[in-house]
């Protein structure tokens, strides 16, 4: 199996249980709930977590559209499942309604769902009827009743407003503005932001901060009120991607530091997103990133215990490791791993997929090959 076919198989393994069950109106009935013993109200938001996070990762692949290839026919099927699931989950009269705005956690996962719509508007938004669009927009607005914490959570509120703006709906410019400007204050240098007032050694620059800032800026276009933030945000993301690429060891591992490690290869979303946008750092080739990410995905997805007997993800990083699950982690949370698959949104003919295998930076250096020195950025 070539790399792209392997990635598609991984995507299906992750997305199929979530989308098919929600589309059938039986996600609550079928999805197990594994959580920390001290977790609070996980049954209220875990289903929204699973759906929003899955869609955020597979949206660019869906947006490639339908064609007569085997993969194109799969996109047709999954696109239909995603739209049906979206209608089911945003309908307050449906048993699988995803309870938007009823818990603080729904702020987070409405943000991921909004990000998915920004990444695949032609698949997830435009085909909907007028009533279905109203239903989705109302679900987005429901989360305004909850105040985000003073951290990366500001971006969840901000990206909801960016999605409403893109959808042609009334939006709250202040929530959008505050998310962007506050993260400008939290920039600490060399491509990294602190998560709130204090810097943390974790992967939240990849789980949330960099990708949401980039997607917000791309959705606003080049002549918005926030244009002055655009190029610095993109440059910082590119730099953070360069760091992430160098963190991948020759064996296809990366340091298991910080919280939320149970999101697995979702920790490399910034690298995956820069590849999707064809904006990789200088000296980093698309093929080498494909090889590096494939090595990581294989190690993590194929670790024994990653899935239960019915195909649902289990808490862990490399296999089943429930001790790594913080109090906010449950089964639905784990589906953020899907954002590591963003380059599936590039067509099979793109050099990311079509060029021959190349070693990534740490492979080259640890094999004794010469390589360019690494440098911080001034911005």
List 187's β-bridge partners, or say none.
193
Q: CB count, 10 Å around CB of 258?
A: 14
Q: What is the pLDDT of residues 196-217, one digit of tens each?
A: 999 999 999 999 999 999 999 9
DSSP letters, 12-75, are HHHHHHHHHHHHTT-HHHH----B-TT--SHHHHHHHHHHHHHHHHHHHHHHT---SSHHHHHH
Is 372 domain-assigned? no
| Beta-sheet strands, E only, within the chain | 187-189, 192-193
- The domain that holds 355 is classified in CATH as 1.50.10
Residue 254 lies in a domain: yes
Query: Cα-Cα-Cα-Cα dihedral of 86, 61, 281, 205, to 10°?
Result: 20
What pLDDT does residue 314 have? Answer: 97
Residues 236-289: tens digit of each pLDDT: 999 999 999 999 999 999 999 999 999 999 999 999 999 999 999 999 999 999
Question: What is the pLDDT, as a whole number, of residue 102?
Answer: 81
Assigned domain for 373 exists: no
Q: Which pLDDT score, from 0 to 100, does residue 224 have?
A: 87
pLDDT grade, residue 41 (50/70/90)?
Answer: very low
Q: Look at residue 85 and tell me if it is in a domain.
A: yes
Q: CA nearest 18: which of 78, 65, 74, 92?
A: 78
Residue 115 covered by a domain:
yes
pLDDT in tens, 42-55: 567 899 999 999 99
In tens, the pLDDT along 119-166 reads 999 999 999 999 999 999 999 999 898 999 999 999 999 999 999 999
Count how many domains the chain has.
1
Instruction: Tell me the pLDDT band of 223, cut-offs 50, 70 and 90.
Output: confident
46 touches 333 (CB < 8 A): yes
| In a domain? residue 141 | yes
Determine the structural domain holding residue 170 and report its residue range: 3-366
Euclidean distance between CA atoms 45 and 148, whole angstroms: 15
What's the residue count for the chain? 379
In a domain, 41, yes or no: yes
Instruction: Please tell me the pTM assigned to this model.
Output: 0.96
- pLDDT score recorded for residue 42: 55
Rounded CA separation 10/132 (Å): 30
> Is pLDDT above 80 for 351?
yes
Q: Is there a domain that residue 81 lies in?
A: yes
**Distance separating alpha carbons of residues 18 and 30, to the nearest angstrom:** 9
Average pLDDT, the chain: 95
316/323 Cα distance (integer angstroms)? 8
Q: Give residues with Cβ within 8 angstroms of 37, minimum separation 6.
A: none
pLDDT at residue 30 is higher than 70: yes
């Amino acid at each position: 199996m070539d790399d792209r076919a392997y990635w598609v198989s991984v995507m299906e393994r992750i997305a199929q249980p979530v989308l098919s069950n929600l589309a059938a109106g039986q996600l609550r009935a079928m999805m197990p709930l594994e959580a920390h013993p001290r977790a609070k109200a996980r049954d209220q938001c875990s289903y929204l977590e699973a759906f929003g996070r899955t869609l955020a990762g597979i949206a660019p692949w869906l947006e490639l559209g339908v064609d007569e290839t085997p993969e194109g026919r799969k996109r047709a099927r999954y696109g239909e499942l995603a739209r049906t699931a979206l209608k089911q989950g945003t309908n307050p009269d449906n048993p699988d309604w995803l309870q938007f705005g009823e818990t603080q956690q729904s702020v987070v996962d409405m943000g991921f769902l909004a990000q998915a719509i920004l990444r695949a508007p032609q698949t997830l938004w435009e085909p909907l009827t007028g009533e279905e669009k109203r239903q989705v927009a109302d679900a987005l607005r429901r989360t305004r009743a909850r105040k985000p914490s003073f951290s990366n959570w500001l971006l969840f509120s901000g990206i909801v407003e960016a999605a409403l703006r893109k959808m042609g709906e009334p939006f709250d410019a202040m929530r959008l503005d505050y998310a962007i400007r506050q993260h400008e204050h939290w920039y600490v240098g060399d491509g990294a932001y602190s998560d709130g007032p204090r810097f943390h050694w974790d992967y939240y620059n990849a789980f949330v901060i960099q990708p949401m800032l980039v997607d917000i800026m791309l959705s606003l276009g080049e002549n918005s009120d926030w244009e002055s933030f655009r190029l610095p945000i993109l440059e910082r993301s590119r730099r953070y991607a360069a760091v992430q690429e160098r963190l991948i060891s020759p064996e296809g591992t990366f340091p298991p530091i910080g919280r939320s490690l149970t999101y697995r290869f979702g920790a490399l979303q910034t690298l995956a997103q820069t590849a999707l946008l064809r904006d990789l750092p200088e000296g980093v080739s698309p093929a080498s990133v494909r090889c590096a990410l494939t090595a990581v995905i294989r190690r993590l997805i194929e670790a024994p215990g990653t899935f239960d007997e019915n195909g649902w993800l289990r808490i862990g990083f490399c296999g089943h490791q429930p001790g790594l699950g913080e109090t906010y982690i449950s089964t639905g949370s784990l589906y953020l791993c899907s954002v590591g698959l963003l380059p599936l949104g590039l067509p099979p003919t793109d050099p990311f997929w079509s060029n021959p295998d190349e070693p990534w930076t740490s492979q080259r250096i640890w094999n004794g090959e010469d390589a360019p020195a690494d440098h911080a950025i001034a911005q």
